[in-house]
């Protein structure tokens, strides 16, 4: 399932809110929170709040998950290496 989460972020050019990811994966938000926390703790995802980091100067912040006031995450550089070596069908 963790690889499925990372794959969703790879397919998305920016942050995803927990709510949006929940809809895409058909997984309850409460179940996702723990998995997202694990991936963030491993440095594979980063929590974004729409006011700092890469979102600070983005004119689209209010349209994406980061600017919606919901918890949102985006892929970190470390995750690119992990997803590239994930076996086909892993986590599904």
In a domain, 10, yes or no: yes
In a domain, 90, yes or no: no
In a domain, 88, yes or no: no
Write down the pLDDT at residue 89: 46
Range of the domain at 52: 2-83
**Whole-structure pTM value:** 0.70
In a domain, 89, yes or no: no
What sign results for the dihedral spanned by CA atoms 20, 23, 92, 38?
A: positive
Please give the Cα distance from 54 to 76 (Å, whole number). Answer: 11
In a domain, 43, yes or no: yes
Domain CATH code at residue 62: 1.10.10.10
In a domain, 69, yes or no: yes
Q: What is the pLDDT along the chain (92 residues), one digit of tens a residue?
A: 899 999 999 998 778 888 889 999 999 999 999 999 999 999 999 888 755 556 666 656 556 655 555 678 888 877 655 445 455 544 43
Q: How many domains does the chain have?
A: 1
In a domain, 65, yes or no: yes
- What is the residue whose two structure tokens read 């729409």? 50
């Amino acid at each position: 399932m963790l690889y499925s989460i990372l794959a969703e972020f790879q397919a998305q050019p920016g942050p995803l809110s927990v709510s949006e990811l929940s809809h895409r994966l058909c997984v309850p938000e409460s179940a996702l929170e723990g998995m997202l926390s694990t991936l963030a703790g491993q440095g594979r995802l980063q929590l974004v709040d729409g006011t700092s980091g890469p979102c600070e100067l983005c004119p689209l912040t209010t349209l994406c998950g980061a600017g919606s006031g919901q918890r949102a995450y985006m892929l970190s550089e470390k995750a690119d290496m992990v997803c590239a070596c994930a076996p086909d069908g892993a986590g599904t």
